[in-house]
Structure 1
């Protein structure tokens, strides 16, 4: 062997030795790191194992910041508790700028839209399908399709299971309910976002191996748009911690005003018209009392695209003139990041919606919820997380009479209100850890 060949071989051996040493050191560093994620990633690469892959079925629509929040919430929980899992999102809709928000916050996220090649690949490669939070088993047919086409397991995360209310098609409703119970029973786990849904599912015979309370994924939504929020606050002279947010809502969302494919519903419209004063009178009185009796302002803001008009008609236009200078009306819709950034700068929130309060509590911001009979049982999650005295039934005169005093108490004793909100947040986060432990176990059992 020539001297040149000897030197070349020596150089190659040195490089191999260096690389081996570097990997060993890297594994050691990862093993003692706080998160351990480096260790797990390197160990996985070293033993040649393919990371587990989850297909998240979520993102139902984008006209409501709460529906938007479900997806980043669940993605955040997965990122925190199962950092080595690869996630592909199977959305119904990510338009109106939502796809860009998700890709920015979750750069490794794969998105497999309906009827795409990416979705076909996800069906082949993903190990587990996770149905995200929603008002029901929103993608029930897709769970059946997944089971029939792949034979792989699925789980359901943070849903309401609503009883069918129509009596006109009882037989059809019973048949549909039976199918839903079967889909629940075929799941590896089902986490219900309110205990009444859990009780209903059990009473109907649903029998998944794990059926428990599991918080709505939106509690973990942490999308932010601080620049937009700061601009909005400055333009409207709203000081951090010196304003409350108020959200109006009609009994039925008038989707026919914002979705061209939704027909006008005269029955729902009539119910909205009949109840809108009843459902907003206490909110309006709370605004008046907050402005006159505290140093807080009030921001009237929307959760969906229909509520700017509702807030203008039912709140702003009916306030006394002396109150109006300290009330701000947001005339345009916003995306979840800006809304969360505003909520976290507020002193608290009250109103007739659900998911803005959820996002508030997820960040330790006090939030009062008003509900009515037309809604599903989701509002009762406030009782499940220890906030039952911040939940009001607008169809109960006793409850309605307690709304204004409770809002004033929240505004006047912010430290106590925040402590209460944080206690609820801690309980939610505990359940998030426990639910992810269940998913981790299921993924570990997948060959």
Structure 2
């Protein structure tokens, strides 16, 4: 990647200022990152390398330990290759005990909620050292209004958040709710999901895939399907029983939620020279893409539609996304990774996804966010996708503006971390 002189000087000055802030002979800052929740979703994988990259960039002398929940599917090797200095401290290991002794700060990574709440409490009880929270969604379950246990759990979470040095919420509605419920953390602000900063790449594998399917750079869009609830019961490694209520809701809404995506595919093929790649964000979505998109398309467009039948990992996906004109669909983290690389991305959301999708409003992409539960918004999905397909330069400029805002917030949030450790 070419770095111009202005960028080089700017980055060098920042690094030098951080180094200058260290007293002579002082030990490096040591951070324990609680992250890596699961690997059946490329977005959940992306949280960790995103935050690690930001620490690497803005706190270059910091020593980092990673306290993961799951590094399966080869993700452990991927992270070790990209971040060779990071130490892995798994639950119950001697390395984790050592990390608790020597680390100065626990950083809770991005997630759908305060996933590592128990570990934060353990950290407080065992070490009495500070912690912070980076890029989570915070929502109140309806049961908290009626169930004493749910209400108590919510109050406990608010108490934990209040004890943090900082809490960055990945959407403004989460921030507002935390304040409404009485959280008193001294620094509570909007902070981008860590996945925006994920720079994992697998260009070799991606280029082989693209070549095999005649998907040329700048000549295709990506489309991602999603059911209302992820059917984890269809993934053997998750070992979960069928949830009949969630399954029924999925069946009830799957045609409604994928009809606009199908129509967008049809219009793109008919009105432009682009192809469309139907691809997954998690291990359940290859089957959904086949059933709800590919198999229901008219024969006349199929020669320019590619369906990916197998799951992929984050690096290959990012390398494919960056070769595309843009992405649209019912997922969140592939769009996040796209915008993190300046690639246009449309997000279609629904109530079952909580309100994380509202981050698109926070970063200036209101026009690329659609609520599938609002029919007036549904009607605008196809024209918006077509506009990106027909005006790629304008779409890229819009994505670049959002990316610049995200990067500004990343710098500011890392400054908070640097001061808190």
The interval holding the TM-score normalised by the smaller chain is over 0.9
Residue matched to 1:23: none
1:182 equivalent in alignment to 2:159: yes
**Number of aligned positions between the proteins:** 412
Q: 2:299 aligns with which of 321, 330, 344?
A: 321
The aligned runs of 1:15-414 (5 Å cut-off) are 34=12, 47-166=24-143, 170-258=147-235, 259-414=237-392
1:417 equivalent in alignment to 2:402: no
State the shift of 1:168 in Å: 9.0
State the shift of 1:81 in Å: 0.7
Confirm or deny: 8 A CA contact 2:346 2:368 kept in the other structure. Answer: yes
Confirm or deny: 8 A CA contact 1:37 1:84 kept in the other structure. Answer: no
For 1:78 and 1:260, locate their aligned partners in 2 and report how far apart those are by CA, in whole Å. Answer: 31
Confirm or deny: 8 A CA contact 2:107 2:134 kept in the other structure. Answer: yes
Confirm or deny: 8 A CA contact 1:370 1:391 kept in the other structure. Answer: yes
Quickly say closer, same or farther: Cα 1:36–1:276, change in 2 above 3 A.
closer
Structure 1, gaps ≥5 residues long: 1-30
Q: Which of structure 1's runs of 4+ aligned residues deviate more than 6 A? A: 38-44
For 1:252 and 1:276, locate their aligned partners in 2 and report how far apart those are by CA, in whole Å. Answer: 10
Confirm or deny: 8 A CA contact 2:144 2:151 kept in the other structure. Answer: no
Quickly say closer, same or farther: Cα 1:98–1:169, change in 2 above 3 A.
farther
TM-score (normalizing by structure 2): 0.95
State the shift of 1:165 in Å: 2.9
For 1:39 and 1:433, locate their aligned partners in 2 and report how far apart those are by CA, in whole Å. Answer: 13
Structure 2, gaps ≥5 residues long: 1-8
Confirm or deny: 8 A CA contact 2:144 2:154 kept in the other structure. Answer: no
State the shift of 1:145 in Å: 0.6
Confirm or deny: 8 A CA contact 2:133 2:167 kept in the other structure. Answer: yes
Residue matched to 1:15: none
Q: Which deviations, in whole Å up to 9, do the C-alpha atoms of 1:69-117 show, x marking residues without a partner?
A: 0000000111111101111000000111000100111111111011000
For 1:77 and 1:218, locate their aligned partners in 2 and report how far apart those are by CA, in whole Å. Answer: 10
For 1:201 and 1:32, locate their aligned partners in 2 and report how far apart those are by CA, in whole Å. Answer: 35
TM-score (normalizing by structure 1): 0.90
For 2:11 and 2:396, locate their aligned partners in 1 and report how far apart those are by CA, in whole Å. Answer: 33
Quickly say closer, same or farther: Cα 1:33–1:230, change in 2 above 3 A.
closer
Secondary structure at the counterpart of residue 28 of structure 2 = coil
- C-alpha RMSD of matched pairs (Å): 1.8
For 2:205 and 2:360, locate their aligned partners in 1 and report how far apart those are by CA, in whole Å. Answer: 30
Q: Which deviations, in whole Å up to 9, do the C-alpha atoms of 1:351-398 show, x marking residues without a partner?
A: 000000000000000000000111111000000000011000001110
For 2:114 and 2:11, locate their aligned partners in 1 and report how far apart those are by CA, in whole Å. Answer: 39
Secondary structure at the counterpart of residue 322 of structure 1 = helix
For 2:321 and 2:53, locate their aligned partners in 1 and report how far apart those are by CA, in whole Å. Answer: 19
Quickly say closer, same or farther: Cα 1:173–1:283, change in 2 above 3 A.
same
For 2:146 and 2:234, locate their aligned partners in 1 and report how far apart those are by CA, in whole Å. Answer: 27
For 2:417 and 2:150, locate their aligned partners in 1 and report how far apart those are by CA, in whole Å. Answer: 31
For 2:65 and 2:163, locate their aligned partners in 1 and report how far apart those are by CA, in whole Å. Answer: 22
Q: Which deviations, in whole Å up to 9, do the C-alpha atoms of 1:324-347 show, x marking residues without a partner?
A: 010000000000000000000000
Residue matched to 1:20: none
Structure number with larger C-alpha Rg: 1
For 1:229 and 1:398, locate their aligned partners in 2 and report how far apart those are by CA, in whole Å. Answer: 37
State the shift of 1:171 in Å: 1.6
Residue matched to 1:22: none
